[in-house]
Amino acid sequence: MMKVAIFLLFVVLIPSQYTHAQSCTIDNAINLMIKSSTESLVSSVLSKVKLDCTSVSARGADVSCPSGYLATACACGMACGSWDIRGDAACHCQCANIDWTSARCCKTRVVG
**At closest approach, how far in Å is the CB of 62 from its own copies?**
15
Which SS3 state, helix, strand or coil, does residue 26 take? helix
Bridge partners of 75?
A: 102
CA–CA dist 34, 58 (Å, integer): 52
- Using an 8 Å Cβ cutoff, are 100 and 57 in contact? yes
Bridge partners of 71?
A: 105
x/- contact string, 66-105, with its own copies (CB under 8 A)? ----xxxxxxxxxxxxxxxx--x-----xx------x-x-
Q: How many residues bind its own copies (CB under 8 A)?
A: 60
The C-alpha R_g of the chain, in whole angstroms, comes to 33
Q: Does 3 bind its own copies (CB under 8 A)?
A: yes
User: By the criterion CB under 8 A, which residues form the site for its own copies?
Assistant: 2-3, 6-7, 10-11, 14-15, 18-19, 22, 26-27, 29-31, 33-35, 37-38, 41-42, 44-53, 55, 57, 70-85, 88, 94-95, 102, 104, 106-108, 110
